[in-house]
Every structure is written in C-alpha cells, then in structure tokens.
Amino acid sequence: MNKYDDHCFNTIGVELFTKEITIGRHTYTLQIWDTAGQERFKSLRTAFYRGCDICLLAYSVDDRSSFLNLASWKREFLQYAEISPDSVFSFVIIGTKIDVDGKNREVSEAEAIEWCQNQDTMPYVETSAKRAINVTAAFETAVDLWAQHEEALDNHQREFDNPTTAIHLTDDREDRDQNSFCCSAGIV
C-alpha cells in the first residue's frame, strides 16, 4: 500500500487496506475501504458506510466530473451511514493526481478550497500517489480531525455526566384543588 503501481487498475467494487499512523504518542490502525465511485458500484459500496469514523472523499484534479460528484457522494455517505446531515462528522476532501501536467488540470486548488469552505470548512489535501506527495498527510489530517471530534464529544459527555445545574421538582398539590396536579421546576 505504500508504493505506487503504474499497472494498478481502477477500483472495482470495494478494496480493503489497513494502515498504521502515529500522531504524537498515539498509534492508530486505519481500516481503509476504497469504494469505487462509479454509479454501477453504488449498491456494493453503500453497505460499507455504516460504522465509519472518517470519510475521505477523493476526486481527480484532471476530471471535473469527479469533483462535481463530491456533493452527491457526501449525501450518499450520510444517508447510508445513517448520519444526520446536521451532526458533526469527520470528512476530508482529497484532490488526487496533482502530478498531472498543468494544462490537463480541470479543477484549481482555489476552487476546491472554496468548495470545502462552503461545506462546513472541510479540510482539503492535494495528493499524488505517483510522486508520493501528501498521501500520508491526507490520512494524518483525517485522523487528527477525528481525534479532535472525539475529544469534543468526550468533553461534552463529561459535562453531561457532571452537570453544574440541577432540576428540582416540587409538588404544588397543596395549593390546588384535589382533582388537579402540577409540578413546578426550578433550576438551581
């Protein structure tokens, strides 16, 4: 997986890889599900979305149609992973094949960055597997973003487990007639 192969073909269906990444003092083992983006493989790839912690959406900088598909791939992922579009989830956008000749490039870096900023400021990384440019950085960016989200969720859970406010219910029946009942709440 850490070596470019000129004879490698496009993904057919789904391919699985594992990769270990060390960030700081922590080592993460990633299970990478490379799902084919072509429409004919849609039924195969959707089963692999559930339970994912990170989603890297990749397009080729020399193929505008792949860039234009990012929004629909994101919607598809959220739908089949059963993630609310409003919830916080770790997405990273990857522009691949930056080694192509400039005249063959169809999507500029500026255009991709602008798209990411309009999509809840998703991180953007440009890569070249052929020249080994930013491939590891793309995975590190994804893991770092996921770790930040997990820490925020942990902090939120700690606040929930140790609330600084309490709600006390009191019985107001004595002040009312015998046939009605009401509770009042006060935040302390």
Question: 187 has which bridge partners?
Answer: 167
Nearest to 96 by CA among 70, 133, 69: 133
pLDDT at residue 92, rounded to an integer: 95
Q: How confident is the model at residue 172 (pLDDT cuts 50, 70, 90)?
A: low
Pairing of strands 14-23, 26-35: antiparallel
Q: Which amino acid does the sequence have at 151?
A: E
Q: Is the pLDDT of residue 170 over 70?
A: no
Phi-psi region of 51 (alpha: psi -120 to 50; beta: other; left: phi over 0): left
pLDDT of residue 12: 45
CATH topology of domain 14-187: Rossmann fold (3.40.50)
Lowest mean pLDDT among 87-96, 141-150, 156-165: 156-165
Helix extents (H) in 27-175: 42-45, 64-68, 70-80, 109-117, 135-161
Q: Domain ranges in the chain?
A: 14-187
88 has a pLDDT exceeding 60 = yes
Flag the least confident range among 49-63, 133-147, 149-163.
149-163
| Cα 160 off chain centre by | 24
Question: 13 or 86, which is more confident?
Answer: 86
pLDDT band for position 138 (cuts 50, 70, 90): very high
pLDDT beyond 70 at 6: no
Q: How far apart are CA 32 and CA 135, in angstroms?
A: 13
**Ranges 54-68, 85-99, 102-116, 164-178: which has the least confidence:** 164-178
* 8 pLDDT more than 60: no
CA dist., res. 74 & res. 118, Å (int) = 13
In the three-class reduction of DSSP (H, G, I as helix; E, B as strand; rest coil), residue 130 is classed as coil
The torsion angles phi and psi of 34, rounded to 5 degrees, stand at -90, 105
The answer to whether 139 and 2 are in contact (CB under 8 A) is: no
